[in-house]
Structure 1
Amino acid sequence: MALKVIGSGFGRTGTMSTKIALERLGFGPCHHMVEVLGKPDQLRFWEAIAAGQRVEWEDVYEGYVSQVDWPGAAVWHEVQQAFPGAKVIHTERPAEEWWESYSRTIGMLFNAHPVPTLPAHLVPVLDVMKGWFVTETFGPRIERESAIEAYRKNNERVREVIAPGRLLVFNPAEGWEPLCRFLEVPVPDDDFPRTNTRDEFWDLVGGRPEEG
């Protein structure tokens, strides 16, 4: 099965809402970090990728129709080459809004890692991610100026690389209309999904670091 949709946006740009929306529109299952956290057999692929080993992208995404969020967003360039027929959805929000959300969730978690309160099955996943794309993207410690610079650089690179007709720059706050138009599917009657609040994030990883 080939991917039909590739997500290139950083985490905390509405990727969970977009995942749920894509699945609602028939583009599921959709790969997201929660898939790696919940499926131990997924980690071996990302360990290999983090180590610079060659992988077959069809194997990495076997059973998936779409992908959003990290870790896939860290390799969007390679994946869009492997699946040239896939459309690219770049989730994006204003940089300061992104930093406000990221710094209070993922950024805080990785700056504190290893975290005593982290559920045991999540430890090897965060070890791999921090040792790979987190450090490569943001440096050894996630700080505001360098993080926003990395965020903007990725946004610019996506626009430079992906042909306009293949790319949707999407803020989930826009709702169904631009997404459905881009994917050429009908607009659902129900509301666009809104999920993965900060509280939901911390529930997933066992609580905020300062609570440990």
Structure 2
Amino acid sequence: MGRTGTYSLKAALERLGRGPCHHMSSLDGDVDRIRGWEAAAQGERVAWDELLEGYQATVDWPSCYFWQELLDAYQDAKVILTVRDTGRWYASVRDTIYRSSHRQPGWPGMLMRLEDGACRGLRCRRRMCERVIWEGTFGARFGDPEYAMGVFEWHTAHVLAAVPADRLLVYEVCQGWEPLCDFLRVPVPDEPFPHLNDTAAFQSMAARRRRRVLTLRPPEPGGGQTAVR
């Protein structure tokens, strides 16, 4: 699930030659692919090779919502289950993607409506997130911490039970390169592991995006992702 180090894992997999790696951030402006994920969330038949065309790996939402379908479609694929302390995970989701993609009451919701009106791609992605994450994964109950954390723990247990052990790595990004490289049978790079997109970095990125959208400025070079070593 998102906020378990998936952006760091995306960067690591790409460094190890397993890229491009799909991630929620890959959908910026890609309205056709966003609609494909939305159709999948509504139960339409999915041609996974078409939806994931151009990618060698996928992490984060929306993919993790369809992990069982992907497991069946790619029966030789390796599976990495990223894990994290449940309470810290919930706080991170609440303070980042929940606030930026779930329609909030009052002034935050008004800003979101302005953003959505100014940016079609952002509007489509938020709608898809609502269906896949907040309704599909959490049954519109993410605001109930006990329920949401129970869903997270159920997801972890279900993946552990369903994926054959020889295809599965249970992984915390704080473990760095060694377990990931051993699992993929590739050499360990002679460079620091990419620790990216913590809560502060996400909030800073979201604030820059909001200013850019509401003032109709072009994107900043480099996409605004911040590394945290």
TM above 0.5: yes
Contact 1:90–1:168 under 8 Å retained in 2:
yes
Could you list the per-position Cα deviations for residues 149-184 of structure 1 after superposition, in whole angstroms to 9, with x for gaps in the alignment? 000000000000001110001100000000000000
Deviations 1:38-64 (A, max 9, x none): 422311211210221001111111110
- Structure 1 residue 208: Cα displacement: 10
Does the CA contact (< 8 Å) of 2:41 and 2:136 recur in 1?
Answer: no
Q: Distance in 1 between matches of 2:32 and 2:38?
A: 11
- 1:90 equivalent in alignment to 2:81: yes
Q: Which has the larger radius of gyration?
A: 2
Partner residue in 1 for 2:55: 64
Matches within 5 A, 1:157-176: 157-176=158-177
Is 2:65–2:132's contact at 8 Å kept on the other side of the alignment?
no
Deviation at 1:129, TM superposition (A): 1.8
CA displacement at 1:139 relative to structure 2: 2.4
Shift in Å at residue 117 of structure 1?
A: 5.8
Q: Please, which runs of 5 or more residues in structure 2 have no aligned partner?
A: 215-229
Matched pairs, number: 201
Q: Distance in 1 between matches of 2:68 and 2:56?
A: 17
Equivalent position of 1:131 in the other structure: 131
SS in 1 for 2:28: helix
Matched, 1:50 2:51: no
Q: CA deviation at 1:197?
A: 2.0
Which of 82, 104, 116 lines up with 1:112 in the alignment? 104
Letter in structure 2 aligned against 1:138: F
Residue equivalent to 1:3: none
Gapped runs of 5+ residues in structure 1? 1-9
2:61 & 2:72 partners in 1: Cα distance?
17
CA RMSD of aligned residues (A): 2.1
* C-alpha distance in 2 between matches for 1:118 and 1:196: 22
Structure 2 SS opposite 1:89: strand
Preserved contact between residue 111 and residue 141 of structure 1 (Cα < 8 Å): no
Relative to structure 1, the CA distance from residue 204 to residue 51 in structure 2 (aligned partners, 3 Å threshold; closer, same or farther) is farther
Percent sequence identity over aligned pairs: 40
Query: Is 1:25 matched with 2:16?
Result: yes
- After superposing the two structures, state which structure 1 stretch, 133-142 or 62-71, moved more: 133-142
* TM-score between both structures, scaled by the size of structure 1: 0.87
Structure 1 counterpart of 2:69, one-letter code: E
